[in-house]
Amino acid sequence: MDVSIIAIGDELLIGQVIDTNSGDIARHIAPYGWRVNDVQVVGDNADEILRAIDRAFESSDVVLTTGGLGPTKDDITKGTLCRYFGGELRHDPSVLENVKVVVAKRGLRLNNLTAAQAIVPTSCRVIQNRVGTAPLMWFERDGRVLVSMPGVPFETRTMFREEVMPMLLEKFASDVAIGHRTVIVTDWSESQLAMHLSDWEDALPPYLHLAYLPKPGLIRLRLDGQHSDGAFIESELTKYHDQLLSLVGNTLICDGDKTMAEVLLDHLRRLGLTIATAESCTGGNIAHLITSIPGASESFMGSVVAYSNDVKERVLSVDGTTLAEHGAVSIPVVEQMTRGAIARIGADCAIATSGIAGPGGAVPGKPVGTVCIAITTPTGTVSDTFHFPGSRDRVIDRASTVALILAIKQLRKM
């Protein structure tokens, strides 16, 4: 089943808000064999919305809109939907009741603008929004469906997963089985890997497709299958997935679709080990990536973000002479930082970073992007110096990913 998405809101077109809803919907519908055919991002403008709906129904029987439903004046979606599907805008007491409950839960008072959210087109079936005040609206015409959902990611995510998708699955039964296998590899450029897999990829049967999804430091390979026979496509995916695993060999960093922080935590749990981080240039980002994973507290003990030499010395026990001789961005310093973190935080392993994220801070011989990373585990310490291109954000992002990959490489040997 093909789905078209229309993301509505001036804030999306001026770049003040990024549309994360479409990706979230896409990830959720994939296991059901559904796919997003296209996404259109349009402003709060009736003509643009109408044109987008026409276009969406050209390619899909299911159209999902997100956004354009807030209580303030820059939202005009509801009137436009009424114009498209007919009927009139009318007050719906059941929506007002629901809005009252949601507003009360938030400890707020109902005001006129929030109450106005109870005005809905008579041509729609209302889906009460349990986690926000804007009602969801289900429209049908000629067997095709448009569902209007709010733009707040948490509301869209909750309501789409728990209410809208089950209703869509009930209405449209899928006749094609779909499946995926994802493996994540490291130590390749995209083109090197593509050359390596070229013969195998050319010989893939027509119902299988390989996609390359490169990220800094790693490449996700996704094998997609689509066939009328669900059992057949599953067994084919298993067979070709096994072949792919043997082709990538020990460049495999994860068999499945996980973040590097998840893979790290898996290894720590398997080994019964704990970890800490000692971060200078990554500024707490590695700790943040690890603690974003539910259950991280089982293996992650804590972190010292040592942004000054003084903190490196006093809290992480880095030797003042080493700092003076080699500079803060040096292999001896990051190695000492791992040992200091292990002692101070109380953990079995540690990751340490020190580098120049930019735009300022470069010193002779150490340009912006220079990052030293060390990993200490019960089997010893490894360290290396890297040069990452790009902006401050990119250097931080990349250094964090590479540090996690280095730690995973050490742990998977154990």
Distance from C-alpha of 222 to C-alpha of 210, rounded to nearest angstrom: 6
Nearest approach in angstroms of CB 355 to a copy of itself is 12
Indicate the residue among 43 and 87 with the shorter CB distance to a copy of itself. 43
Nearest approach in angstroms of CB 323 to a copy of itself is 15
Indicate the residue among 14 and 231 with the shorter CB distance to a copy of itself. 14
Q: Is 403 exposed, middle or buried (0-12, 13-18, 19+ CB in 10 A)?
A: buried
Please tell me the number of Cα atoms within 13 Å of 219 on its side-chain side: 17
Nearest approach in angstroms of CB 41 to a copy of itself is 4
Nearest approach in angstroms of CB 383 to a copy of itself is 19
Indicate the residue among 84 and 300 with the shorter CB distance to a copy of itself. 300
Nearest approach in angstroms of CB 55 to a copy of itself is 7
Distance from C-alpha of 122 to C-alpha of 222, rounded to nearest angstrom: 44
Edge-first strand order for the sheet with 349-355 is 275-279, 349-355, 370-377, 380-387
Indicate the residue among 291 and 381 with the shorter CB distance to a copy of itself. 291
Nearest approach in angstroms of CB 302 to a copy of itself is 4
Indicate the residue among 210 and 271 with the shorter CB distance to a copy of itself. 210
Indicate the residue among 28 and 409 with the shorter CB distance to a copy of itself. 28
What lies within 8 Å, CB to CB, of 167 at 6+ separation is 127, 138
What 3-state DSSP class applies to 319?
coil
- What element of type H or E holds 374? strand 370-377
Token pair for 215: 């990220």
Nearest approach in angstroms of CB 6 to a copy of itself is 10
Indicate the residue among 109 and 413 with the shorter CB distance to a copy of itself. 109
Strand partners, 380: 377
Return the exposure string of 154-175: e unless at least 16 CB atoms fall within 10 Å of the residue's CB, then b.
ebbbebbeebbbeebeeebeee
Distance from C-alpha of 180 to C-alpha of 124, rounded to nearest angstrom: 36
